[in-house]
Structure 1
Amino acid sequence: MQISPVFEPTKRSAFLDVYRGFAVLLMMIFHFCWDLRNFGFMEFSIYDPFWVYFRSLILTLFLTAVGWSAYIVSNQSSKPFTWKRDIKLLISAGAISLATYLAMPNQWIYFGILHFILVASLLVRPVAKWPIACAVLGILIIMIYHLTPWLHFPNAFSTITHYVPLPDRTLDIVFPFPWIGVVFIGPLLGYLNWHQCPTPNHTVTRVLAFMGRYALPIYLSHQIILFGLVAAFKMVLLQFF
């Protein structure tokens, strides 16, 4: 079995790409199940513990990867133009908001995962070079959120939607707490050199690594494809049954 810690020639971390690609795969499974539910092929509540934890796992993988990547960038001698990535995220988040507003104006996405990743990237970047302190802060945020009511702000959402013309329901929303704490834990994974872990070079890891490298375009396009396929299958069934 060949071992490839990094893919040439870009010197990207194969392990980090596979890690992020696994998150993309889980996201696609989650959205595919949502599509099946939407067209009546499955019955479940997205508030059931399984689906709540499944979504939390996906968010955890994506958001730790954000902090992890920030740490790697902070330790590179020649810093890449991160503002280009920020602009791509900004445009992509805007496109998601516009598309969902046109398709479902009563549930459009105004602060989903892409919006949060953009904000979180800007927040974690200046502190990623201190991974231990950053991780301690992240753990404290998560502990305070789960052990006390201090970071819950139960009336914040209703207050914002009362004064700002936003829908009461949205297809996707990521609240700042506790998820910014998860982002702040990410640099610790970089400090521990997880991105240098040997990665088996076989079909599964190559596919996952590809998905990790192109996570943003896959995110933007996968639901259109999945939703269209399930909708087409439903129409075919209605024609014959």
Structure 2
Amino acid sequence: MPASSVTLPYVTVAKKRSVFLDAYRGFAVALMIVFHFCWDLRNFDFLQFSIHDPFWVYFRSLILTLFLTAVGWSGYLTHQSNRPNTLWGRDLKLFIAAAAISLTTYLAAPTQWIYFGILHFILLASLLTRPLLHWPILSALLGALILYTYHFTDWLMFPNAFDFITQHFITLPTRTLDIVFPFPWIGVVLIGPLLGYLGWQTVSIGESLTVKVLAFMGQYALPIYLLHQVVLFSAVATFKMVLE
């Protein structure tokens, strides 16, 4: 049979992951682990510091910036790959994970349980910013506008909003183990698609062991997030018990 008349079956080729994006997200995971490990050491009196010190405030902001730009970035890439169901599947995983975090912390620390932490915010921000994945430049401009407005004006400052909501609409603890307010962080998510549009995911960073470890952590960021504090907290608590 002539080669020109042979019809080959259609084979779906899996889209290759971006090592740079995975490592970028993995770097955020690594910093998060360091942050929480230090928090655990402080909780058990191995370290003394205030989480309101500028260093820790900026350190947390760096972690959030890396995570949230990666949210918008990966959302743009998924949208460009014409796999919209993947986004909804990710939303379902986030919803389940966020609910699990809320339930677990409510049972473990009912006076400080997490009702709107990083996972809750990522889920909400993903849904709100999804329409702008079509226009990454417009998305980034809007994100930059939100950041500028937040940092250089008081138009997005709502100092009494939290107290008003918790006192008049829903009963929530005044302290929580983790909370991420919509502003300015939704602006950071909106900047993420621009990184995908500029092709940062194609940047080559080699195949060193460090890169491989970070890429692995970035690829499995959600399960690592859900499990790492259980391991760290238990390890520090056990060490404290042994010393006593």
| TM-score normalised by the chain length of structure 1 | 0.93
Segment of structure 1 superposing worse, 57-66 or 127-136: 127-136
SS of the counterpart of 2:137?
A: helix
Query: Following the alignment from structure 1 to structure 2, what is the Cα–Cα distance between the partners of residues 10 and 99?
Result: 35
- For 2:177 and 2:212, the matched residues in 1 are separated by 31
Tell me the C-alpha RMSD between the 2 structures: 1.2
Asked whether the 8 Å contact 1:73–1:80 carries over to 2, the reply is no
CA distance in 2: counterparts of 1:125 and 1:225, whole angstroms: 34
2:180 aligned with 1:174, yes or no?
Answer: yes
Q: Does 1:124 align with 2:124?
A: no
Judged with a 3 Å threshold, the aligned counterparts in structure 2 of structure 1 residues 97 and 78 are, in CA distance, closer, same or farther, namely closer
Structure 1 residues 200-220: Cα deviation after superposition (integer angstroms, max 9, x where no partner): 101111000000000000000
Q: Shift in Å at residue 9 of structure 1?
A: 5.9
Match of 1:225?
A: 231
Aligned partner of 2:213 in structure 1 is 207
For residues 30 and 191 of structure 2, the distance between their equivalents in structure 1, rounded to whole angstroms, comes to 22
Distance 2:28 2:47 in 1: 23
In structure 2, which of residues 90, 99, 106 is the aligned counterpart of residue 101 of structure 1?
Answer: 106
- Runs of 4+ with deviation above 4 angstroms: none
Is 2:58 the counterpart of 1:56? no
Contact preservation (8 Å) 2:25, 2:218: yes
Q: Alignment identity in percent?
A: 67
Equivalent in 137, 151, 158 of residue 156 of structure 2: 151
Match of 1:72 in 2: 77
Equivalence for 1:47: 52
Once the 2 structures are TM-superposed, how far is the Cα of residue 81 of structure 1 from its aligned partner?
A: 2.6
Which residue number corresponds to residue 8 of structure 2? none
Distance 1:203 1:81 in 2: 29
Which ranges of structure 2 fall in alignment gaps of 5 or more residues?
1-12
User: Cα 1:103–1:178, aligned 2, differ >3 Å: closer, same or farther?
Assistant: same
CA distance in 2, matches of 1:126, 1:204: 36
Q: Work out whether residues 72 and 126 of structure 2, in 8 Å CA contact, stay in contact via their aligned partners in 1.
A: yes
Given that residues 70 and 124 in structure 1 are in contact (C-alpha distance below 8 angstroms), is that contact kept between their aligned partners in structure 2?
A: no
Equivalent residues, number: 231
Deviation string 1:118-174 (CA, Å, 9 cap, x unpaired) is 001111221112111110000000000111111011110101111211000111000
**Which of 17, 20, 39 matches 2:22?**
17
Contact kept, 8 Å, 1:35 with 1:227, in 2: the verdict is: yes
- Which of residues 176, 188, 192 in structure 2 aligns to 1:186? 192
SS in 2 for 1:12: coil
Unaligned runs of 5+ in 1: 1-7
Q: Is the 8 A contact 2:78 2:86 kept in 1?
A: no
The separation in 2 between residues aligned to 1:199 and 1:126, in whole angstroms, is 31
For the pair shown, the structure with the greater C-alpha radius of gyration is 2
